[in-house]
Amino acid sequence: MEDIPGKDWHLDRRLQITHILSTLSMGIGAILYVGDIRKDVEVLKSQRVEQVLQDQRQDTALLEAKRETLFQLDKIDQKLDRLIEKRVK
pLDDT one-digit tens code per residue, 47-83: 998 999 999 999 999 999 999 999 999 999 999 999 9
Asked if residue 11 has pLDDT above 70, the reply is no
- 78 DSSP assignment: H
pTM of the model: 0.49
Closest CA to 25 of 35, 17, 15, 14: 17
pLDDT score of 9: 67
Quote the percentage of the chain above a pLDDT of 70. 87
**Rounded distance between C-alpha atoms, residue 44 and residue 38, angstroms:** 10
Instruction: Name the band, by pLDDT with cuts 50, 70 and 90, for residue 5.
Output: low
**Rounded distance between C-alpha atoms, residue 78 and residue 85, angstroms:** 11
**Rounded distance between C-alpha atoms, residue 76 and residue 69, angstroms:** 11
- Mean pLDDT (whole number) for 19-34: 95
